[in-house]
């Protein structure tokens, strides 16, 4: 019975399709083509499109699967490589920065007429009241006490005793007991730059109230102390007020950033006192 129903259904379907095809063969579309032809083309084009889509999908899926098989290893490898490159980049940055500093030092060295020696800061002072640093040059390199130490930004300080064979200590200009002969570059008003507590850490003393000193004026070494080379920048006037006595109250912002010193130049020209001592000997 079921078989009969099935056969009846197939027969009905076959007859209907046959007659639909018969009708389609006689009817034309608005474009003039046969409906049968148009429908056949449409159906086959859909089938082709579907088949192509399936093939493409399968190929893409397979390709992606194959591509994904090694992605874990690739990912790990790439992560390692990125890590290495980041480290290398940091090193390159460090080198570039170092090169810049060295270039600046070299430029300074070129500018300087005196004989200088490049030195690296190897330590600071753990005692904040004594503002000194240690450099990797000593008597073996010709470094003696009271030699001036400079940096691209200006004067750093002077070598203080004792001087080691391959290292020496530098008293920074901002130390409370440090001092340097200074003049205001614009007006040539002279005085003494001394270290001070507070911010800014430099003060200019012994400048007459009559002197013309304004904020922003450059203060340079006068050279009268026999240590620091004349004309080298000490800093800029930050505040200049008329003092109670004879002298003005002047604060100076140092030209050197003492908090980030890494490379310095030691002026190998012996200080005048040392020369005199040598001559007296």
Which positions touch other proteins (CB under 8 A)? 8, 11-12, 15-16, 19-20, 22-23, 26-27, 30, 35
Supply 125's token pair.
Answer: 């002072």
Nearer to other proteins, 10 or 44 (CB): 10
Residue 30 vs 242, nearer CB to other proteins: 30
Q: How far is the CB of 8 from other proteins (least distance, A)?
A: 6
Output the smallest distance, CB 44 to other proteins, in A: 21
Beta carbon of residue 12, minimum distance to other proteins (angstroms, whole number): 5
Omega before 46 cis (within 30°)?
no
Pick 7 or 59: Cβ nearer other proteins: 7
22 half-sphere exposure, CB direction, 13 A CA radius = 6
CB of 17 to other proteins, least distance (A): 10
Whichever of 35 and 106 has its CB closer to other proteins, that residue is: 35
Q: How far apart are CA 27 and CA 47, in angstroms?
A: 23
Q: Helix, strand, or coil here: 208?
A: strand
Beta strands in the chain (DSSP E): 116-124, 132-135, 148-151, 154-163, 168-172, 179-184, 190-195, 202-205, 218-221, 233-241, 249-254, 263-267
Specify the residue, 20 or 123, whose C-beta has the smaller distance to other proteins: 20
3 state DSSP class of 191: strand
Can you state the angle between helices 35-69 and 2-26, rounded to 10 degrees? 110
Alpha-carbon distance of 136 to 217, in angstroms, equals: 34
DSSP state of 36: H
* Residue 192, token pair as written in the block: 């003494």
16/215 with CB nearer other proteins: 16
How near is the Cβ of 27 to other proteins at its closest, in Å?
A: 4
Task: Closer to other proteins by CB, 2 or 279: give it.
Answer: 2
Residue closest to 233 by CA, chosen among 169, 268, 196, 183: 183
- Token pair belonging to 85: 């490159």
Q: CB of 55: closest distance to other proteins in angstroms? A: 35
Q: Using the minimum distance from each CB to other proteins, give the nearer residue, 8 or 49.
A: 8
Q: What's the closest the beta carbon of residue 19 comes to other proteins, in angstroms?
A: 4
CA angle at residue 121 from 118 to 122, to 5 degrees?
A: 130
Q: Quote the least distance from Cβ 38 to other proteins, whole Å.
A: 12
Q: How far apart are CA 92 and CA 238, in angstroms?
A: 37
């Amino acid at each position: 019975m079921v078989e009969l129903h099935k056969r009846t259904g197939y027969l009905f379907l076959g007859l209907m399709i046959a007659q639909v095809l018969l009708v389609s063969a006689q009817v034309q579309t608005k474009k003039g083509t046969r409906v049968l032809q148009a429908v056949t083309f449409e159906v086959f084009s859909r089938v082709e499109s579907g088949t192509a889509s399936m093939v493409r999908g399968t190929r893409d899926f397979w390709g992606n699967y194959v591509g994904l098989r090694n992605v874990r290893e690739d990912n790990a490898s790439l992560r390692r490589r990125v890590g290495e490159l980041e480290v290398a980049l940091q090193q390159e940055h460090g080198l570039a920065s170092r090169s810049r500093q060295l270039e600046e030092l070299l430029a300074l060295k070129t500018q300087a007429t005196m004989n200088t020696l490049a030195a690296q800061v190897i330590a600071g002072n753990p005692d904040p009241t004594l503002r000194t640093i240690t450099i990797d040059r000593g008597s073996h390199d010709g470094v003696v006490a009271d030699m001036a130490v400079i940096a691209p930004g200006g004067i750093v300080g002077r070598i203080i005793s004792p001087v080691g064979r391959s290292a020496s200590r530098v008293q920074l200009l901002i130390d409370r007991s440090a001092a340097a002969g200074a003049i205001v570059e614009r007006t040539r008003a002279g005085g003494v730059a001394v270290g001070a507590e507070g911010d800014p850490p430099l003060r200019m003393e012994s400048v007459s109230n009559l002197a013309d000193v304004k904020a922003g004026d450059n203060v340079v070494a006068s050279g009268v102390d026999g240590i620091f080379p004349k004309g080298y920048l000490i800093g800029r006037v930050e505040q200049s007020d008329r003092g109670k006595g004879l002298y003005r109250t002047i604060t100076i912002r140092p030209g050197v950033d003492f908090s980030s010193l890494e490379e310095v130049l030691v002026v190998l020209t012996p200080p005048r006192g040392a020369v005199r001592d040598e001559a007296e000997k």
